[in-house]
Amino acid sequence: MMTSPLARFSSPIILDGGLATELERLGYKLNHELWSAKLLVKAPEAIVQAHLNYLNAGAQCIISASYQASLAGFQKMGLVDSEAVRAMGLASKLANQAVTQFVNDQHRGERPLVAASVGPYGAILANGAEYHGRYGLSDEQLYEFHRQRLQLLNVHSTDIIAFETIPSWQEAQIVIALGEECAMPNWLSLSCQDGQHLNDGGEIEQVARAVEQSSNTQAIAINCSAIETISELISRIQSQCNKPILVYPNSGARYDATTKAWIAPQTSKPLHHYAQQWVQQGVLAVGGCCQIDADDIKRLSQHINQ
């Protein structure tokens, strides 16, 4: 097994929060099928700034703006093929640019990591399909989609691949297999409907066993899931897998795929309130996903490092 770049840092590692959340806080409207990736073309400087906001908040690993990037999406924006291909590779470049700027400004510490975000097939559909994972595709079709996309995302300029928000056993198997074929470390992050099941209803333990047997999948993670479910999911993963665990859940708000809006919960505790429990359970890294911004990550970092 190759050495994990995550091993460079002492536990717990601070991850960033939701890139789209921070971009929206900066004033950008992202109700578009490319989501944050729209700004790779329209406002790349905003993506660099959002990354910098997380780095300055204490993040030791930032995740690129490629989660929802696709050739078809860029072509619908009017880009010709060569321009669309360039845009696909830009997310990793901008994340590295932000890290270099941060290191040059700070003149201290370990260089933060860049993870190349590879979202699920459902994210490309921009219809909320990642919340159920039922695509109606064969294994071969799903594999080919991810293989072609991975070739365009310039992942080899990053430290690690983050297969994110994977909602089903079918897609988890596909990206684990793909990860075995590419000479880069990766983590597999799952999206779950409760403390036991993936979004498609599959059991978390089944995926944990597959990750344990993988040579290139360095860690298993949970993201884009309800914050209240994380502790149980950690325990279930640990019963089947000895690899590091990363957690970066949503804030507690619920996403309405019809209106494409977040509905705030009536009551919810902040991310840093839960983090200490997860650290005590032995997770390697903690961060946030949807509706978690740089201020939340700053509070998390301060709480963890106090």
Q: What is d(CA 162, CA 118) in angstroms, rounded to the nearest whole number?
A: 6
241 belongs to an annotated ligand binding site = no
For 223-239, what is each residue's pLDDT tens digit?
A: 999 999 999 999 999 99
Look up residue 120 and give its two tokens: 């699920």
For the chain, the helix, strand and coil percentages under 3-state DSSP, each to the nearest 5: 50, 15, 35
For 38-52, what is each residue's pLDDT tens digit?
A: 899 889 999 999 999
Residues 156-169, mean pLDDT to the nearest whole number: 97
pLDDT exceeds cutoff 70 at 8: yes
Q: What is d(CA 165, CA 179) in angstroms, rounded to the nearest whole number?
A: 16
192 belongs to an annotated ligand binding site = no
Residues 171-189, mean pLDDT to the nearest whole number: 95
Q: In the prediction, which pLDDT does 260 show? A: 65
Which of 112, 95, 60 has the alpha carbon at shortest distance from 285? 60
290 belongs to an annotated ligand binding site = yes
In angstroms and rounded to an integer, the radius of gyration of the C-alpha atoms of the chain is 18
pTM metric for this prediction: 0.94
CATH architecture of 12-305: Alpha-Beta Barrel (3.20)
